[in-house]
Amino acid sequence: MIKFLSILGLFIFIVSCSTAAFQPQNQLAAIETWSGYAIGRGAECSDAEVEIKVLEDFSIIGTAQSTERLVIIQLRGKLDADRGFVVSGSGGGRIHVTYEGIIKGDSGSGKWDADVGSHGTCGGTWKLAKNN
């Protein structure tokens, strides 16, 4: 019961912080929104639903939400001139995730890696589609 309450408390904390902690400074508008799916490989990996927004200064903010666990990772990064990017974020205690790849036209793809603390590392691939 204590483990369930701890997990529930962590989930409520992450959700309540997710909107306030990662609002763009100076209220930059999103010029592109992308969403898709990350497929996990490895014993402790989980698939995730991914959404990113490219802002006016070409910075990237977004989330990766596990489909199997109550974990939401807040992502931040920057889009380069060739439309390549690296975004990373942390969540769920000791989980740190990095997504890298390229987005061009109406689709994007790449790979991701995660450090899941005492459970080791895992990773996989991701694909995104442009929403607007």
What pLDDT is stored for residue 111 in this prediction? 96
Question: What is the rounded CA–CA span in Å between residue 92 and residue 2?
Answer: 17
For residue range 74-92, list pLDDT tens digits in order: 999 999 999 999 999 988 7
pLDDT score, position 41 = 78
Instruction: Kindly report the pTM of this predicted structure.
Output: 0.74
The pLDDT score that the predictor gives to residue 25 is: 54
Return the domain boundaries, the chain.
Answer: 2-130
The torsion region of residue 131 among left (phi > 0), alpha (psi -120 to 50) and beta comes to alpha
| CATH tag for 2-130 (out of 2.40.128.30, 3.30.70.20, 3.40.640.10, 3.40.50.10490) | 2.40.128.30
